[in-house]
Amino acid sequence: MSQIDQTHTLPLKPLHLPLEPSLWPLPWGYWSLFALIAIALILSLVIQRKLRNKKRAKKAALHILKQGSHNLTVSEAQELVRQAALSYFPRNDIAKLTGSEWLSFLDSQLATPRFAQNKEQWQSILYSSGVKGQAFNASLIEDCGYWIEHALPPKRKYKDWNAS
């Protein structure tokens, strides 16, 4: 008899296949991706909140100006501009400005000046009890609204405007 015929069956146990890999626990790449997404989300929320808080004084001033535009005097509109400016610029620089210095500061924050060209009208209306024309008063109040809309919040870092 040959050896091939004499093969005996070996006493082997049946094969057990390992389980398929599960999705849990997640590999470190997924965890890092989730962490980056969470950080980006938190960072975007913080930036959005800062921007909203930065524009809060501007929105409030525009709201007051639009609500009271029919019975708002020129002095009240100018006071509203001053309060809005104090919210964004250093108080010790802005609070002391009056007259032509104040008007030149307002013009320095705009691309096209609107206040210095009407200097005499601003002075006469602000310091007199007489009322000029309603149309002229409306244009001065409109200048105040334009300044609040286009100069706030400051587009560039504030520096001493009077130095140049």
Which residues, at least 6 apart from 152, have a Cβ–Cβ distance to it below 8 Å?
57, 58, 61, 84, 85, 87, 88
Q: Is the pLDDT of residue 112 over 90?
A: no
Instruction: Answer yes or no: is 118 within a domain.
Output: yes
Q: For 112-137, what is the mean pLDDT?
A: 72
Identify the domain containing residue 140 by its residue range: 56-151
Per-residue HEC secondary structure of the chain comes to CCCCCCCCCCCCCCCCCCCCCCCCCCCHHHHHHHHHHHHHHHHHHHHHHHHHHHCHHHHHHHHHHHHCCCCCCHHHHHHHHHHHHHHHCCHHHHCCCCHHHHHHHHHHCCCCCCCHHHHHHHHHHHCCCCCCCHHHHHHHHHHHHHHHHHHCCCCCCCCCCCCC
Instruction: Indicate the number of domains in the chain.
Output: 1
In tens, the pLDDT along 152-162 reads 888 766 655 56
Q: Is the pLDDT of residue 117 over 80?
A: yes
Instruction: Answer yes or no: is 71 within a domain.
Output: yes
In tens, the pLDDT along 24-81 reads 888 899 999 999 999 999 999 999 999 999 889 999 999 988 887 677 788 888 889 9
Instruction: Answer yes or no: is 23 within a domain.
Output: no
Instruction: Answer yes or no: is 106 within a domain.
Output: yes
Give the residue, 142 or 163, on which the prediction is more confident: 142
What mean pLDDT is reported for the chain? 83
In tens, the pLDDT along 3-20 reads 555 667 788 888 899 988
Give the predicted TM-score (pTM) of the model: 0.68
What is the pLDDT at residue 154? 84
Instruction: Answer yes or no: is 39 within a domain.
Output: no
Instruction: Answer yes or no: is 91 within a domain.
Output: yes
- The region of weakest confidence among 21-25, 42-46, 105-109 is 21-25
What is the pLDDT at residue 162? 62
Instruction: Answer yes or no: is 37 within a domain.
Output: no
Instruction: Answer yes or no: is 35 within a domain.
Output: no
Instruction: Identify the CA nearest to 143 among candidates 161, 157, 125.
Output: 125
In tens, the pLDDT along 77-93 reads 888 999 999 999 888 88
